[in-house]
Amino acid sequence: DQQVKQNSPSLSVQEGRISILNCDYTNSMFDYFLWYKKYPAEGPTFLISISSIKDKNEDGRFTVFLNKSAKHLSLHIVPSQPGDSAVYFCAASAGGNKLVFGAGTILRVKS
């Protein structure tokens, strides 16, 4: 069963515009959510996270929103830059150890 779902396999955005990546989860025990970014031939790199007690966390151009009632989170990137082109994974944790990942969304930022 897929506990973390990223339903959009890919997203294309113009440079300078907003990128919105979405993620849904089913496990109510998840208490921490993370976004990772992955370039080809590299491992995932941590981007931003949010605890289940919050509904928003911001770090520079990146903001993560959490809607617990809808079991939905989103990553906003503003403004998008060509260097943001990568695969973005949503991940969740219950209790702080292993991560459960979504299938990823390929973001392409066009200049």
Partner 1 sequence: DTGVSQDPRHKITKRGQNVTFRCDPISEHNRLYWYRQTLGQGPEFLTYFQNEAQLEKSRLLSDRFSAERPKGSFSTLEIQRTEQGDSAMYLCASSLEGTGPDTQYFGPGTRLTVL
Binding residue count for partner 1, defined by CB under 8 A: 24
Q: Give the other-Cβ count within 10 Å of 19's Cβ.
A: 24
Q: Which is nearer to partner 1, 13 or 92 (CB)?
A: 92
**101 is a site residue for partner 1 (CB under 8 A):** yes
Residues between 22 and 61 that touch partner 1 (CB under 8 A): 32, 34, 36, 41-46, 49
Residues 87, 37, 62, 34, Cα dihedral to 10°: 110
- Three-state secondary structure call for residue 83: helix
User: Least distance in Å: CB of 72 to partner 1?
Assistant: 17
What single letter denotes the amino acid at residue 65? Answer: F
Closest listed residue to residue 11, CA positions, set 62, 92, 100, 76: 76
Nearest residue to 107 via CA among 42, 10, 40: 10
Q: Does 98 contact partner 1 by CB under 8 A? A: yes
Q: Does 103 bind partner 1 (CB under 8 A)?
A: yes
Give the interface with partner 1 as residue ranges (CB under 8 A): 4, 6, 32, 34, 36, 41-46, 49, 89, 91, 93, 96-104
